[in-house]
Amino acid sequence: MAGTAPQELINMTRQLGQPHLNLVIIGEGNTSSRVDSHTFWIKASGRGMQEIGDSGFVEIYFEGVLDLLDSDLSGAALQEAMMAARVDPNGARPSVEVTFHSMLLQGCDVNYIGHTHPLAVNQLLCSTRAEQFARNRLFPDEVVLCGPESVFVPYVDPGLPLAQAIRAQVKRYMDDYGEAPKVILMQNHGLIVLGQSPTEILNVTAMCVKAAGIFAGACAVGGPVFMSKADVLHIYRRPDEIYRRKLFVG
């Protein structure tokens, strides 16, 4: 039975789409939220985020999309399989990134995802400094909100190949840190933020954009000075910072 997209998802998407934030323009970016263990909502393909409404989202069965991650489907066959995963057969076409949304919502046990193309972040992701920015941290609040490092994904064609590449890099991160990442940075593409609430998605996105601006500024005045890995982990695991991080979830 066809439902309606959650207002919290609609509001979060509209906020990420605000022009003054320089996160997306036109039909860029996509967002999603979990309904339960069976279905999730995702932005429909080509819809602008700034003024999106209920009709700009489509509900998807996890099972129908997760199965695609171990396939080699492409072209029309892949599109047909994604359309078949809709709860409402008459619903809109889901974003081409529906595969990585399904995989991250389930595999990382999060409730919301925000994928944007921030100007400040993409200036770095389209440079020779992309991986350096992802792997390192510059200041404590970046650590608190964005995690000890970001998952870095070298450029891969959007869609199923990208979802498979993200899955491999996220697994590596979870093996190293024992938990899911907050931030995924895709070379020559954009930013993915994972969270438990719309507030967390918005806060982590804002902090990643701030970190990108600081990184670019540091490069312009002699080069960035990164926190040591020991200091990063110390900040990330401090009880007072864990308390603050919980507050930032909202």
Q: In CATH, what number does 7-249 get?
A: 3.40.225.10
Ordered DSSP codes for 183-237:
EEEETTTEEEEEESSHHHHHHHHHHHHHHHHHHHHHHHTT---PPPHHHHHHHHH
Phi-psi region of 25 (alpha: psi -120 to 50; beta: other; left: phi over 0): beta
CB-based contact 120:214 (threshold 8 Å): no
248 pLDDT exceeds 90?
no
Q: 3-class SS at 106?
A: helix
| pLDDT tier at 2, thresholds 50, 70, 90 | low
1 pLDDT exceeds 60?
no
Partnered with residue 39 across adjacent β-strands are: 61
Angle among Cα 215, 218, 221 to the nearest 5 degrees reads 155
Q: How far apart are CA 59 and CA 86, in angstroms?
A: 6
What confidence tens digit (pLDDT) does each residue in 72-110 have?
888 999 999 999 999 999 999 999 999 999 999 999 999
- Residue boundaries of the structural domains of the chain: 7-249
